[in-house]
Chain A
Amino acid sequence: MIERFNDRNVVTGIIQLGLILLIITIGGFAYRASGRPKDGTAPPEPVMAGAVAGAASGAMVALFVIVVTLLAEAGYVARDMFESVTPALLDILTFQQNPWVGSAIMIVMAAGVGGLAGYAHRLPAEGRKLTFLGLGTLLIVGLAAPIVDVMVKGLGLPSGWLFRREGLTVAGALLVLVVTVALRWYLDRQGGFRRAAAKLPGITDSNIKKVGLTAAAVVVLALPWLVNSFISEVLGTVGLYILLGLGLNIVVGYAGLLDLGYVAFYAVGAYVTAVTTSLVGYLVTDDPLRPAQNGWTSFWLALPITVVIAFLIGVLIGAPVLRLRGDYLAIVTLGFGEIIRTLVLSDWLKPYFGGPQGVTDVPAPPPASFEFRQPQRLYYLILAFALLALFVSSRLKDSRIGRAWAAMREDEDIAEGMGVSVIKYKTLAFAIGAAVGCLGGAFFAAKLSVANPGSFTLLVSINVLAVVVLGGMGSIPGVVVGSLVLVGLPELLREFGEYRLHIYGAILVLIMLYRPAGLIPDKRRARELAEAKELKETSGVAAS
């Protein structure tokens, strides 16, 4: 695992990912340690403090290396218990020298990094922001090198001088740094992105939003042409999660219901579509070994059937369950997700749902000549429906229903008193969310050509919930950004194998710690949150 991390070059031949991670950890620790103490005592000399903190962490790493080496000499191989402590790891931590020399180098280097981190406190705030921004962008571009490389090549531009062998070249790194810092500095001088853009010819304050949207629209529409088919496929998945996220956004963000079983509707959509359109579905053939010529119906006809079924299930499930308190609702919805998955996986329903193998031979949406299963085409299809969902979501938010939901969120009893039938609106939200979720499922089945139970685990519900919460509950652009970050990134990080879930978990925790309101918080929610906080502080009511 460590070897795989280290194979990644940020700047080819000079900086590997393993080293960077080490530097970031030590640097981050030193930065925090040399900052202004919370209790108001005099701040220590930052560079010295940073260097000391750095040296301390370096010493700990060195100690680890020495202990492992000594134990190995005494016959206790650390690898028996801790699988990752491989010789390769030790090599990296000692810079390929023998343990003692390597440790000494480590301590010195860590002290240096710590000192630099401490020095960052000395910089004016602006300079500090620019430095971090530049370095951060360098890291991201370096890691994303393969993708950016493909995009640059796709535009017909030469990329060899910029990238080489999965990392930036020195020239490329310098370019990225300079461009980022210069751009940010220029924008700051102009007073922000909006004002700077306003100075461009033909754009005024009032139409900047429209121009921005148009530009974004052009990029989004042209995207599949700019990138290769693998990335189009990833974008298709991102689009799918945007669709799901918008659906769950209605349930969680608008109506404030805690739903941990959203995957149930996803599964319903996928399975109903699969069963009705598959060539081996039980509706068209008795023997799975003898596929029929056509499915029971075509994809486009199956779509409204699926939506109606999901809506009905949403109403049926919602009615008894939605009057439960938040956390009870969570576990019950989770239960429903598991129940659906168990049902489609079971031997009992195998003749209908195919058991562990699922329902196979789902044809692509007709007409066949359009080749909808090609990643680029599929992307447009999903994009179209995601836009539809987006439109519906935003109209709902400002409608009477949306206002009812907002009232419910603030205080259910008062809303009930004002004539808002809480249970009715909750069920409505739940059912609409169900309908959107099942749309996502339908496209999923068509995309994969198979619907199998392993795709509908609790993790999917969690993913969608994370997308919504991370993006900002109730916020539509938040869902888009959340999906890009939480779905796009792990797909691109697939080469790290199972560790992408490790990174995913860490990202979830970090973003919640630093941006609890989400990446792009919805304005109304943010106001509600602020008011709730105020209320809590002044009246001393325990947080709910």
Chain B
Amino acid sequence: MGLVIVILAARWLGQVGSSPLQHGGREHMRKLNRKGVLVVVTVLGLIAAACGGTSGPPDACTSDPFGCVEVGAGEPIKIGSLLVITTADASLGLDSQYGVELALDYWGATDFDGANGQIKGHDVALQAEDDGCSAEGGTAGAQKLAADEDIVGVVGTSCSSAALGVADTILGDKGIVLVSPSNTGPALTDPAKHKPFYLRTAHNDKLQGATVAHFAYNELGVKSAATIHDGSPYAEGLANVFAEVFTSLGGTVTAQEAIQRGDTDFNPVLTSIAATGPEFLYYPIFVAEGGLITQQARGTAGLEAIALQGSDGLFTPDWIDAAGAENAEGVYISGPDLSAFTGDVDFYNNVFIPAYTAKYGPPGSVFHAHAWDATNMLLTAIDQVAIEQGDSLFIPRTALKDAMFATSGFVGITGTLDCNDDGDCQQAVTIAVHQVKNGEFGDPIYSEASTLGG
């Protein structure tokens, strides 16, 4: 490429020299011509020298289709996080980010001393980015991380909309492994859609949607239901799975509506749903719209006696604030059962949570444990495949990905992680349903354990 530029530049300069001018004459121009070429060649030579490579990388790197990340002497190993840390859903992403930060702190020295651990003598550093809980945010954040050649792996995204077709592709095209603590949309690990460098430690919503349907039909005894989703893979996935299972149990789905994120007036859609007369309304969406729908549903004629249900997108005190405690009273919310983790529960309750609360206050969401597990998976895999050469470290990208997918019997907090080929590492999960009472979620009123493919 540099050669091309030199040639082009020289030719252009040649043209400059040959055009007639008023003063100075040809002599002057020829001088400039020669000087110019000299200057250009020198500059370019310097640049070429600067770009010259150092000593050769190990063989594993040249044979790896995506090459290696080179971590020089004294430089940190950079991992990224791509979580929703701004906007109304910030509590979800920050909660996961704190889980990542704690995991980095604990690694190595196995205590929370405020200093990140090390892998093979190199510090591990975190670059935190925002996924905005949207495709657009996921694109921007993933682009930023992908453009950085030093990023080894990324923990993220928070929202399935930021991952599907977006972050999983942008990062995957660069060979950067992406492991999500809270993506639950079924499409992400669907064999036809799954991207090779993507995994997750969160559950697959095929399980959650079914649990909610069982709860509604069996526990609450409702026979007709309506759903609202916001077009995101997460919400749509849940609404569809719910509708499928609910219908197969014998219930009727009277309406399936879609709103858009950022909308504020839901009276038309709620009135529309009321006209179909359901007993149960499932709206597995996020805080901003979920809060408004909760408020407005309470005021819609025909929906006064309806049972309202949301899912983990609303499983945060921020939603109760947004909706108003009076409106949120009695609403059902589903999410992973924090009291039913099958991993190192003792550690979770007695070490992790106290450390978390001391540093960040009470948890704002439920996926911090999954983030912890995801980070530890990543760090373990890096430790496994990193090649030392002198003071530098070489981490082959594809080998790292393979190590992650080969994770089996990995005991984390949330359970024993076992990754299948499609990226689902949490095969068995317990989903709980809570009911909001006095502005709090309280303990689960219903809990169901299920397994993927079972």
Do A and B interact directly, with beta carbons closer than 8 Å?
yes
User: Residues on A close to B: CB < 8 A?
Assistant: 154-156, 201-207, 210-211, 214, 217-218, 221-222, 225-226, 228-230, 232-233, 287, 289-291, 345, 347, 350, 355-358, 360-361, 373, 375, 448-450, 452-455, 494, 497-498
B137 at the interface (CB under 8 A from A): yes
Q: How far is the CA of A2 from the CA of B276 in the complex (A)?
A: 51
- With known contacts A289-B190, A289-B193, A206–B36 Cβ distance under 8 A: no
Q: Is the CB of B232 within 8 A of A356?
A: yes
Contact of B86 among A214, A291, A498 (CB under 8 A): A498
Which chain B residues lie closer than 8 Å to A450 at the CB level? 135, 139, 165-166, 169-170
B412 at the interface (CB under 8 A from A): no
8 pairs across A/B with beta carbons < 8 Å? A233-B147, A356-B161, A357-B166, A357-B233, A360-B165, A360-B169, A453-B136, A455-B136
Closest to A233 in B: B147
Q: How far is the CA of A455 from the CA of B166 in the complex (A)?
A: 13
Q: Is the CB of B148 within 8 A of A230?
A: yes
Closest to B165 in A: A360
Closest to A154 in B: B50
Q: Is the CB of A455 within 8 A of B139?
A: yes
Q: Is the CB of A202 within 8 A of B35?
A: yes
Contact of B173 among A230, A373, A497 (CB under 8 A): A373
Q: Is the CB of B31 within 8 A of A222?
A: no
- With known contacts A204-B23, A356-B135, A448-B139, A375–B165 Cβ distance under 8 A: no
Closest to A377 in B: B1
Contact of B24 among A204, A290, A355 (CB under 8 A): A204
- With known contacts A206-B21, A214-B13, A357–B148 Cβ distance under 8 A: no
Q: How far is the CA of A347 from the CA of B169 in the complex (A)?
A: 23
Contact of B46 among A155, A350, A355, A375 (CB under 8 A): A155
- With known contacts A204-B23, A225-B47, A357-B161, A448–B5 Cβ distance under 8 A: no
Q: Is the CB of B169 within 8 A of A361?
A: yes
A148 to chain B, nearest CB (A): 15
B126 at the interface (CB under 8 A from A): no
User: Residues on B close to A: CB < 8 A?
Assistant: 2, 5, 8-9, 12-13, 16, 21-24, 28-29, 31-32, 35-36, 40, 43-44, 46-47, 49-51, 85-86, 130, 132, 134-137, 139, 143-144, 147-149, 161, 164-166, 169-170, 173, 187, 190, 192-193, 230-233, 258, 260-261
Which chain B residues lie closer than 8 Å to A202 at the CB level? 28, 31-32, 35
Q: Is the CB of B169 within 8 A of A155?
A: no
Q: Is the CB of A356 within 8 A of B231?
A: yes
Q: Is the CB of B40 within 8 A of A357?
A: no
Q: How far is the CA of A291 from the CA of B5 in the complex (A)?
A: 38
Q: How far is the CA of A375 from the CA of B258 in the complex (A)?
A: 37
Residue among B21, B134, B137, B165 with most chain A CB within 10 A:
B165
Which chain A residues lie closer than 8 Å to B233 at the CB level? 357
Q: Is the CB of B23 within 8 A of A356?
A: no
Q: Is the CB of A214 within 8 A of B28?
A: no
Residue among A214, A226, A498 with most chain B CB within 10 A:
A214
Which chain B residues lie closer than 8 Å to A228 at the CB level? 148-149
Query: Which 4 A-B residue pairs are closest in the complex by CB-CB distance?
Result: A454-B136, A360-B165, A356-B231, A452-B135
Which chain A residues lie closer than 8 Å to B164 at the CB level? 357, 360
Closest to B258 in A: A347
A8 to chain B, nearest CB (A): 16
Q: Is the CB of A203 within 8 A of B32?
A: yes
- With known contacts A204-B28, A218-B40, A452-B135, A230–B165 Cβ distance under 8 A: no
Q: Is the CB of A207 within 8 A of B261?
A: no
Closest to B29 in A: A207
- With known contacts A202-B28, A356-B260, A356-B261, A347–B231 Cβ distance under 8 A: yes
- With known contacts A345-B260, A452-B135, A497-B86, A218–B43 Cβ distance under 8 A: yes
Q: Is the CB of A230 within 8 A of B169?
A: no
Q: Is the CB of B147 within 8 A of A355?
A: no
Q: How far is the CA of A350 from the CA of B229 in the complex (A)?
A: 14
Q: How far is the CA of A454 from the CA of B132 in the complex (A)?
A: 11
Q: Is the CB of A449 within 8 A of B5?
A: no
Q: Is the CB of A454 within 8 A of B135?
A: yes
Closest to B32 in A: A202
Q: Is the CB of A210 within 8 A of B170?
A: no
Closest to A494 in B: B144
Q: How far is the CA of A287 from the CA of B5 in the complex (A)?
A: 45
Which chain B residues lie closer than 8 Å to A222 at the CB level? 5, 43-44, 47
Q: How far is the CA of A358 from the CA of B232 in the complex (A)?
A: 10
Which chain A residues lie closer than 8 Å to B166 at the CB level? 357, 360, 450, 452
Q: Is the CB of A361 within 8 A of B32?
A: no
